[in-house]
Structures are given as structure tokens and as C-alpha cells.
Amino acid sequence: MTLVMGIVNVTPDSFSDGGRYADADAAVAHALRLRAHGADILDVGGESTRPGAERVDPSIEQDRVLPVVRALTEASLVVSIDTMNASTAVAAVEAGARIVNDVSGGLADPGLLAAVAATDADIAIGHWRGHSTDMYARAEYGDVVDDVIAELRGRLEAAASAGIAPSRIILDPGIGFGKKGAQNWAVLRDLDRLVGLGPRVLVGTSRKRFLAEALADDPADADEARRDLATAVTSALAAQAGVWAVRVHDVAGTRDALTVARSWQEGSRWTSSTRSH
């Protein structure tokens, strides 16, 4: 069954909900609501990776996220830390995080893979070609699916060299990171190829611009509710492709979509007498 990872942005400037949960108490309360709505994992982040975002000093990032990580783990919840910094990753694992979610796949901080290897945490390795300030300038591919898979294979090898066992690795195709609209759809269409590599796969489409571009001539016309619906659809389709988890803002809507999709798939198992009712 595909898991749901709920997004907890403890930031003032994330692209969708920046500032809503910048206070630790507000972030914890939001995370508890996401858990009540069906989130299996709470992904806590203190640095925005929206297009154009500037980097945040790790000390500021840690001031934002560590109180939230501690509070959630004390409540016996499964927490991941969304960070590109080795020091933040280690501090968050020490505070109770079980997964390090690095959208850069260990490229932003060369010490991150080795640092995570020394812990007992799993790691989500994202496909990434550069920081948010210029990532779209790097969205040039021969075949985007072939290139993403090849580059993720390279990160798998780097993680193995750092001492991270394959069982601890999760792959993320980096939807929206260094990819323009149609390139994202191409990667999603061929998710089964990424799933076929072996490690668990995490997909995050939530509220991203390429969804708004598909919904409206002017992406600004696709409001949060429309983006959440599109996210739920793409998450259900990703689940059908066999991904391990989807990362979303709207946990309740996504959980409903996954339930409906699973019921659809299981329909062939129903007996004729069951269908007659």
C-alpha cells in the first residue's frame, strides 16, 4: 500500500503555505492534523526549495525544525527531515527523525551521504541539477526519463560508496526540480521504470506549477483547491505505478483518492454476488 507523507513547512517563504506554520507550535498542531487525516509520515522542512528561493543558514534551519521534530517523535509519530544539510540531517535524526529527505540527493552538501550512513536513518535521494535560484536553466535533457534514471543510478552508487545499504534508500524523481512542464509529465508517465530499479520510490507533485499549467491557460487561475485535486489524481496514478509513498500538502484528499484507486483495482476480485449488492 502506498504511504502518504504529509508536508510540514516550518518556513516563512515556501511556495504554497509559507508562513502559515512558521511557529513551532503551529507546525506541530498542523502535523497532528495531517496525522489525523491519514498521514503515515510527517516531513518537516525548514528551508524552502521553491523556484528562486535563497539558501538558509543551517543554524536557522535547525532552530526552526528541531523543536517540531522532537515534539512529533515524542508523540510517537514517524518523522522525516527535509534538508540538504548534513549537520541538520544528523541533528534531526538525533532528535528522532527516521528518514532524511534530501531533494539534492547528496549533491548540495558533499558530506551528507556519509553523515547519514553513520546513523540508522533511511534516506530519500532526489533527482537534482542545481539550487532553486537557477534550476530551470539546467532543464536540458536528451531523453528526460533516461537521463533522470541514469543520474539517480549515479546517486545510488554514491550512497553505496558512502556506506548506505540499499534497503535504506528511497528514490525521488524530483518532479518540478530542474524540469519544465512536459518533462515532469514524461517522468510521471514512465514511473514504472524508476520503480523497476529496486529501491522504494517517493513522488511529490503537490501543488506544483506544472499541474497549474495543465489546468489553466494562466497558472495563477489554478487555485490551491484545484492544485490539490490534481495532486490527488497524480498521486493515485503514481500509486498504481507502484511507488512507495507520495508527498502532499492535502493529506485527506490524497488519502481518499488512494482509497478509491485501490478499491477500483480490487474490483476484479469481487464475486458476482458481492457486485449484485
Q: Catalytic residue numbers?
A: 208, 247
Q: Which of 229, 170, 241 is nearest to 205 (CA)?
A: 229
Rounded to 5 degrees, what are φ and ψ at 30?
Answer: -65, -45
List Cα–Cα distances, 82 to 36, 98, 126, 247, 270, in angstroms. Answer: 21, 11, 11, 11, 41
CB count within 10 Å of CB 186 equals 15
SS3 136: helix
In eight-state DSSP terms, residue 55 is P
Q: Distance (Å, rounded) from C-alpha 94 to C-alpha 77?
A: 15
Q: From CA 65, how far away is CA 92, in angstroms rounded?
A: 8
Residue 125: which of 145, 107, 139, 138 has the closest Cα? 107
- Sign of torsion over alpha carbons 175, 181, 183, 189: positive
CA distance 251 to 116: 28
Q: How far apart (Å, rounded) are the C-alpha atoms in residues 173 and 209? A: 16
